[in-house]
Amino acid sequence: MKLVAPIAMCLFFAGCASTEVAEEDTGFASSPSLEAFVGCYRNCSDPSDGSAQTCLSSIIWPDGFEAETRPQAVLIEKGHGESLVASAISDGVVLKQSQFREGEDFEFTSGRIELKRDYAASGAREPGNPFIGIMTSKTMLGLDASGQGRISQSTTFAGTGFLIIPIAGSTLSTQQIERFPPGACSINGT
């Protein structure tokens, strides 16, 4: 009977949830088609609350750029069929360009672009990692009511810590990506 209270406390404190959404966030607006996303966007968010910034280039091309070489802007254009072409641009130079197809690279539902879900498992093999379990993350790209870009990233995890403490939780982070005037993505003066 003496073990019930400590075990109950461990179970009570093992779950967590975290949500980061700016106060001025208006949520996702419904976009009728992929053409609504065409435009020039600032690469990274500019959070006013001091939270970590989110960069489109890190989402579109994971491990594609170092902090020093991040592009200034990302140009989104309509591709062939149901696809979008993303170009990383700095100082009028295209650093990287990729085409992404609906159904292969993303799903377009309810006016939002949902990227393919990521799954990861941890076996606590790395030194200092006490977590054994699974994690899934989802990224949604869309537009808000004012036409600015909006990124929503959620992560859910469940497992054990130090082999005995059950841990489960979720996080949600939402950032706005400013839409630049079209000239900000001009390539070599064009």
* Average pLDDT, 10 consecutive residues per value, the chain (190 residues): 45 52 68 91 85 90 90 95 95 94 93 85 76 89 92 91 85 91 76
Give the C-alpha separation, 139 to 157, whole Å. 15
Which residues, at least 6 apart from 58, have a Cβ–Cβ distance to it below 8 Å? 64, 65
What local confidence, expressed as pLDDT, does residue 151 receive?
Answer: 93
How many other CB atoms sit within 10 Å of the CB of residue 53?
Answer: 12
pTM of structure: 0.77
What local confidence, expressed as pLDDT, does residue 12 receive?
Answer: 47
141 beta partners: 113, 151
Strands 149-161 and 131-143: antiparallel
Owner of token pair 């790209």? 141
What local confidence, expressed as pLDDT, does residue 9 receive?
Answer: 45
What local confidence, expressed as pLDDT, does residue 93 receive?
Answer: 93
* DSSP run (H or E) holding 131: strand 131-143
Strands 93-101 and 118-123: unpaired
Sequence letter at residue 173? S
What local confidence, expressed as pLDDT, does residue 46 receive?
Answer: 85
What local confidence, expressed as pLDDT, does residue 76 receive?
Answer: 96
